[in-house]
């Protein structure tokens, strides 16, 4: 229902109808605002998730490198490494 139709209906129906239709119009605007906010939250979520995955991959690489270095050093201490 368009706003023009709502106005025509409101003017023919009296104060109760005007109040009801005004409530409908306000709820539509609130719904639009909420939908826009939800879209923004989805965008933020996607950016955060991508950044988290990048950080996890970097940390995994760093931990893997440290494990390899530690393993190599333990081998050298136990007389198994070259050097």
Give me the chain's average pLDDT, please: 85
Orientation angle between helical segments 3-13 and 15-77, nearest 10 degrees: 140
- Rounded CA-CA distance 3/7 in Å is 6
Report pLDDT for 64.
95
Report pLDDT for 44.
95
CB-based contact 10:17 (threshold 8 Å)? yes
**pLDDT tens across 41-52, in order?**
999 999 999 999
Report pLDDT for 1.
63
Q: How many residues does the chain have?
A: 83
The answer to whether residue 14 scores a pLDDT higher than 80 is no
With a CB cutoff of 8 Å and minimum separation 6, the contacts of 26 are: none
Phi, psi of 13 (to 5 degrees): -105, -10
The answer to whether residue 38 scores a pLDDT higher than 70 is yes
């Amino acid at each position: 229902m368009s706003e023009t139709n709502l106005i025509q209906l409101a003017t023919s129906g009296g104060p109760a109808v005007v109040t009801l239709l005004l409530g409908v119009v306000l709820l539509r605007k609130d719904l639009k605002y909420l939908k826009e906010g939800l879209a923004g939250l989805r965008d933020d979520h996607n950016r955060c998730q991508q950044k988290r995955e990048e950080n996890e991959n970097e940390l995994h690489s760093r931990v893997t490198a440290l494990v390899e270095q530690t393993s190599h050093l333990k081998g050298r201490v136990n007389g198994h490494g070259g050097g």
